[in-house]
């Protein structure tokens, strides 16, 4: 059989598209060969770029390029989801994220909320890879849509190997520094403060400065390789900045009306050997302070899910073992009421007390008043949404990469019994993986 390169195959599908097919949303697809999705993304010239992989072993990988449509509000996104659902046919995936606190100033070039329907989507699952072109005809001139799609195909580049991670010398600055951190922890753990606000998740920005930062895709590829049981994401909305991460925490996954979420909070280190590791896990599950951190999260999730769903069920507390830390986790399942949309879930659930605190408003008030760095998309939401299913992570264990600076973020839940120095070390444990990749371990 004569082999047609994937881009040529899509071009010819586009050229032969009949007028009657030019309705609503359509996706043209062809199978393709790809070695590394990030090598493909890194070779492109177009923006925005997006990489997403869910947490389960062997989960589908998505790499997307360009945007057919983008949304800066949940209301606009939900309206578009509803519109395509009404038209019927294949329902596309939208990718994007939200800031931690949309009522404060976030990162430049990262809107409070941004989701997009990609123009090009490269997908890889166990059965192989597919290159797709997304088109919309329901809300625009069909000729203009075809011209734009053709231009995007014409700009596609061949995959190239990712550049090596070269050793850089970084200057490190923590914001807050350890002394200011200790003062904030003391304020939060003061009995008067605890009496009305039992948990505040305080965070730190670690700025690593160097004349030239590494390729975010090369860095993410290496990070991902050592981050099993984590989500993997990369976002590049503009050429000079990227946000990447390997978060272990799920905000929620929805399959139709079935919702899965979790309380992931409470942390200890990994042991030297299996025996010590198990001893640390047992200690973690029995520890009062860490149990309280987790309890604050699940209690609020259960309360919030109550009016939105039926059959809310929570599993036993167990530990999740990551490369440098282990956490307490409780899984939660629920059946959503018929009218509950992703817009509603995203308006209600985040920021969870795993990254904010309880009660939410007073914890946020403390954070707004005392944290000097901007959280931006750190501790926000990141993932995939479609009419049929959605999958969203909590954007922790992440890095913002600019031309001369890498910003690493870590937070720790401060509750009764939190000690400033121990919590500071917990922050370091949470950035240990990426620090060692950068040669700063
Ligand atoms: C806030 C972060 O992590 C959260 C805080 C944890 C804790 O304090 O024990 C554990 C997991 C997450 O709920 C982070 O990694 O930045
Ligand atoms: Mg903790």
Closest CA to 244 of 213, 202, 267: 213
Closest CA to 199 of 425, 357, 90: 357
Closest CA to 211 of 166, 169, 174: 169
Fold of 171-437: Anthranilate synthase (3.60.120)
pLDDT above 70: residue 136: yes
Q: Cite the residue boundaries of each domain of the chain with CATH code 3.60.120.10.
A: 171-437
Mean pLDDT over 365-377 rounds to 98
Per-residue model confidence as pLDDT tens digits over 91-132: 999 999 999 999 999 999 999 999 999 999 999 999 999 999
Q: How far is the CA of 2 from the centre of ligand 2 (A)?
A: 58
- Tell me, using a 6 A CB cutoff, whether residue 201 lines ligand 1: yes
Q: Which residues contact 50 (CB under 8 A, 6 or more apart)?
A: 62, 63, 64, 65, 95, 96, 116, 118, 233, 234, 235, 236
Work out the number of other CB atoms within 10 angstroms of the CB of residue 405.
Answer: 15
Which of 61, 121, 159, 199 is the catalytic position?
199
Rounded to whole angstroms, the Cα distance separating 93 from 398 reads 23
Q: How far is the CA of 130 from the centre of ligand 1 (A)?
A: 36
Rounded to whole angstroms, the Cα distance separating 234 from 244 reads 4
Q: Which residues contact 302 (CB under 8 A, 6 or more apart)?
A: 312, 314, 332
Q: Which two structure tokens, joined as six digits, stand for 154?
A: 């014409």
Residues annotated within the binding site for Mg(2+) are: 293, 426
Q: Do 30 and 9 form a contact (C-beta atoms < 8 A)?
A: yes
Q: How confident is the model at residue 1 (pLDDT cuts 50, 70, 90)?
A: very low
pLDDT at position 168:
87
- Tell me, using a 6 A CB cutoff, whether residue 135 lines ligand 1: no
Q: Which residues contact 1 (CB under 8 A, 6 or more apart)?
A: none
pLDDT above 80: residue 385: yes
Rounded to whole angstroms, the Cα distance separating 107 from 130 reads 33
pLDDT at position 4:
75
- In this predicted complex, what is the ipTM? 0.99
Q: Do 260 and 333 form a contact (C-beta atoms < 8 A)?
A: yes
Q: How confident is the model at residue 2 (pLDDT cuts 50, 70, 90)?
A: low
Rounded to whole angstroms, the Cα distance separating 400 from 412 reads 19
pLDDT above 80: residue 364: yes
Q: For the full predicted model, state whether its pTM sits above 0.95.
A: yes
pLDDT at position 86:
97
Per-residue model confidence as pLDDT tens digits over 276-325: 999 999 999 999 999 999 999 999 999 999 999 999 999 999 999 999 99
Q: Is 180 a catalytic residue?
A: no
* Share above pLDDT 70 across residues of the chain, in percent, rounded to a whole number: 99
- Tell me, using a 6 A CB cutoff, whether residue 267 lines ligand 1: yes
Per-residue model confidence as pLDDT tens digits over 171-230: 999 999 999 999 999 999 999 999 999 999 999 999 999 999 999 999 999 999 999 999
Mean pLDDT over 60-86 rounds to 98
What burial letters (b/e) apply to 294-311, b meaning 16+ CB within 10 Å?
bbbbbebbbebbeebbee
Per-residue model confidence as pLDDT tens digits over 138-163: 999 999 999 999 999 999 999 999 99
Q: Any bridge partners for residue 98, and if so which? A: 113, 381
Reduce the secondary structure of the chain to three states and give it as a string.
Answer: CCCCCHHHHHHHHHHCCCHHHCCCEEEEEEEECCCCHHHHHHHCCCCCEEEEECCCCCCCEEEEECCCEEECCHHHHHHHHHHHHHHCCCCCCEEEEECCCCCCCCCCCCCCEEEEECCEEEEEECCEEEEEEEEECCCCCHHHHHHHHHHHHHCCCCCCCCCCCCCCCCEEEEECCHHHHHHHHHHHCCHHHHHHCCEEEEEEEEEEECCCCCCHHHHHHHHHHCCCCCCEEEEECCCCCEEEECCCCEEEEEECCEEEEEEEEEEEECCCCHHHHHHHHHHHHHCHHHHHHHHHHHHHHHHHHHHHEEEEEECCCEEEECCCEEEEEEEEEEEECCCCCHHHHHHHCCCCCCCCEECHHHHHHHHHHHCCCCCCCCCCEEEEECCCEEEEEECCCEEEECCCEEEEEEEEEECCCCCHHHHHHHHHHHCHHHHHHCCCC
Per-residue model confidence as pLDDT tens digits over 330-343: 999 999 999 999 99
Q: How far is the CA of 268 from the centre of ligand 2 (A)?
A: 8
Query: What's the mean pLDDT when you consider all of the chain?
Result: 97
Work out the number of other CB atoms within 10 angstroms of the CB of residue 34.
Answer: 18
Work out the number of other CB atoms within 10 angstroms of the CB of residue 359.
Answer: 16
User: To test the ligand 1 pocket, which listed residue (250, 288, 327) has its Cβ within 8 A of the most ligand atoms?
Assistant: 327
In this structure, the residue with its CA closest to atom 11 of ligand 1 is 265
- Tell me, using a 6 A CB cutoff, whether residue 265 lines ligand 1: yes
Q: Which two structure tokens, joined as six digits, stand for 121?
A: 């989507």
Q: Any bridge partners for residue 173, and if so which? A: 207
């Amino acid at each position: 059989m004569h082999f047609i390169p994937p881009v040529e195959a899509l071009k010819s599908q586009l050229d032969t598209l009949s007028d009657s097919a030019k309705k609503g949303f359509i996706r043209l697809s062809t199978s393709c060969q790809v070695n590394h999705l990030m090598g493909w993304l890194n070779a492109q010239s177009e923006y925005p770029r997006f990489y997403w992989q869910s947490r389960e072993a062997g989960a589908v990988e998505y790499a997307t390029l360009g945007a057919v449509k983008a949304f800066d509000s949940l209301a606009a996104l939900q309206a578009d989801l509803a519109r395509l659902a009404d038209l019927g046919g294949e329902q596309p995936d939208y990718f994007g994220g939200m800031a931690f606190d949309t009522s404060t100033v976030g990162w430049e070039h990262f809107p409070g909320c941004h989701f997009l329907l990609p123009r090009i989507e490269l997908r890889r699952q166990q059965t192989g890879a597919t290159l797709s072109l997304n088109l919309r005809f329901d809300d625009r001139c069909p000729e203009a849509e075809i011209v734009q799609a053709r231009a995007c195909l014409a700009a596609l580049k061949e995959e190239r190997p990712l550049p090596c991670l070269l050793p850089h010398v970084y200057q490190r600055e923590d914001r807050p520094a350890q002394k200011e951190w200790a003062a904030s922890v003391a304020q939060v753990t003061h009995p008067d403060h605890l009496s009305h606000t039992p948990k505040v998740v305080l965070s730190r920005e670690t700025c690593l400065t160097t004349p030239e930062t590494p390729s975010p895709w090369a860095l993410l590829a290496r990070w991902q390789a050592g981050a099993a049981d984590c989500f993997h994401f990369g976002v590049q909305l503009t050429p000079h900045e990227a946000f990447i991460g390997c978060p272990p925490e799920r905000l929620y996954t929805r399959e139709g009306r079935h919702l899965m979420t979790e309380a992931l909070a409470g942390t200890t280190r990994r042991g030297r050997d299996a025996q010590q590791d198990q001893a640390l896990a047992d200690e973690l599950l029995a520890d009062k302070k860490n149990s309280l951190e987790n309890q604050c999260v699940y209690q609020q999730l259960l309360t919030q899910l109550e009016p939105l769903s039926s059959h809310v069920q929570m599993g036993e507390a167990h530990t999740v073992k990551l490369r440098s830390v282990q956490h307490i986790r409780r899984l939660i399942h629920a059946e959503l009421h018929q009218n509950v949309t992703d817009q509603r879930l995203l308006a209600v659930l985040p920021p969870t007390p795993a990254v904010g605190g309880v009660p939410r408003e007073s914890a946020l008030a403390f954070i707004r008043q005392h944290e000097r760095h901007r959280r931006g998309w750190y501790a926000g939401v990141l993932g995939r949404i479609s009419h049929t299913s959605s999958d969203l992570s909590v954007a922790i264990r992440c890095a913002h990469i600019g031309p001369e600076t890498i910003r690493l973020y870590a937070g720790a839940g401060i509750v009764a019994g939190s000690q400033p120095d121990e919590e500071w070390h917990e922050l370091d444990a949470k950035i240990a993986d990426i620090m060692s990749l950068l040669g700063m371990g």
